[in-house]
Structure 1
Amino acid sequence: MEKHLKRIVTMQRMQKTGLELFYQKGYFNTSIDDILKSLSLSKGAFYYHFASKDEFFIGIIQQLLFRKVYSALIEPLESNENPLTLIERTLDNTLETAQHNKYDYGFALGNFLNEFNGRHPEIMRYLKDITKVWEVNLISALQRGKSNGYVSRHIDSESVALFIISSFLGMRTLMVEGNGKLLRYKYMQQLRTYLKTMEAVTH
């Protein structure tokens, strides 16, 4: 049992370092040797835990990347509060975190979606699964908002979810080299105006 737990801890440490490297340099620009150097591991030790670089990265997507996106952008929506308020607060909080991160290389999920698009269909499927979960939860939150009288029943929840995801991904890309504080302010100002148009008349 102790050996099994030790292996899990080692794998988690490897994945955390791997995610940081892939985030900074990109998947295709990061070699196994780069990973080994960062972890102070031998090749044998790496291949004891993972059969390949692809398998290593898929584990990172499932164990770390999904959790990061879920805790930041999906879990906060799982409430019966006004979903328009929840969406605004969630995106603003996430952008604020990025704004104060001096090692910001962009939104990890967005970076990887761009990098793997047309280059690696299998890994692309895992990444798109995360956006699908995010999209489904946005739609569910908006639909709940309609039932609870917060959101106008005429709103197309699927289109709104698509717009929110795509605009957020774009804003995170712009924030890497731009004035994060100003961009966040302008984006949130427009987002609030957009969300206000969806309010139910009774609210």
Structure 2
Amino acid sequence: MATMQRMQTTGLELFYAKGYYNTSVDDILKKLELSKGAFYYHFDSKEDFFVQIIQNLLGRKVYSSLIEPIEGHENPLNLIMNCFDEAMETAVHNEMDFGCILSNFLTEFNGKNEVIMHHLNEIVTVWEVNLISALQKGKFNGYLDRHTDCEAVAIFLMSSYFGVRTLMTGSSPSAKKYRFMTQLRQYFKSIEAKPVTV
């Protein structure tokens, strides 16, 4: 189990840094100091290796950083703000940041590999469903304006997060994060429930 974990963690780091198609099995073996026989004992192919990484590591990574923090009965807008703030702050201090890992892989595999796209889209769907659910709960509990389209807000949040994480790979990631969070705060003010005036 420890070997499998190490292989998958190292594989994910390589695929994130170089891309799936620019990373060969030999690159993986060299980094892990493993023989081809040892690799193929555990995995049928490079694709099988990557699918297992998606299922075992990437799904958990997205869950722990973008889904779990927004679960609860508090104001979902505050939970989402804190969640995005924390996820982006980690990227600000990561010298090896190559953007949003999930977004990068979605872009790389789109139109190239249906099997892998299926697994990646499952993660996207889980994130989307959880965002919608948190927003709907917030609307029900009186935190969001009753006319808010929770599905549309979820899509907007996901796409803007993917976008800002890509932009943060360039210069001034901290400034980009700050500007994004400032605008997100303004947007959330526009959809939060207004106090009822008598």
Tell me, in whole angstroms, the C-alpha distance in 1 between the residues paired with 2:151 and 2:39. 42
3-state SS of 1:35 partner: helix
3-state SS of 2:191 partner: coil
Do 1:143 and 1:157's aligned partners in 2 also have CA atoms closer than 8 Å?
yes
1:61-98 deviation line (CA, Å, top 9, x unaligned): 01000111100000011110100101111001111110
Q: Equivalent residues in 2 for 1:167-186 (5 A)? A: 167-186=160-179
1:38-72 deviation line (CA, Å, top 9, x unaligned): 00000000000001000000000010001111000
Query: In the alignment, what sits opposite 2:157?
Result: 164
Query: In the alignment, what sits opposite 2:84?
Result: 91
Query: In the alignment, what sits opposite 1:138?
Result: 131
1:197 lines up with 2:190 in the alignment: yes
Query: In the alignment, what sits opposite 2:46?
Result: 53
3-state SS of 2:98 partner: coil
Query: In the alignment, what sits opposite 1:5?
Result: none
Tell me, in whole angstroms, the C-alpha distance in 1 between the residues paired with 2:152 and 2:14. 34
2:184 maps to amino acid = L
Q: Equivalent residues in 2 for 1:15-164 (5 A)? A: 15-164=8-157
Deviation (angstroms), 1:10: 1.0
**Coordinate RMSD, CA, aligned:** 0.9
Tell me, in whole angstroms, the C-alpha distance in 2 between the residues paired with 1:70 and 1:178. 28
3-state SS of 2:192 partner: coil
Stretches of 4+ aligned residues off by more than 6 angstroms: none
Give me the TM-score of the superposition, normalised by structure 2.
Answer: 0.97
Query: In the alignment, what sits opposite 1:11?
Result: 4
Number of residue pairs aligned between Structure 1 and Structure 2: 196
Deviation (angstroms), 1:178: 2.4
Give me the TM-score of the superposition, normalised by structure 1.
Answer: 0.95
Q: Percent identity?
A: 61
3-state SS of 1:24 partner: helix
3-state SS of 2:118 partner: helix
3-state SS of 2:169 partner: helix
- Note the residue ranges of structure 2 that are not aligned, 5 or more in a row: none
- Note the residue ranges of structure 1 that are not aligned, 5 or more in a row: 1-7
Do 1:16 and 1:64's aligned partners in 2 also have CA atoms closer than 8 Å?
yes
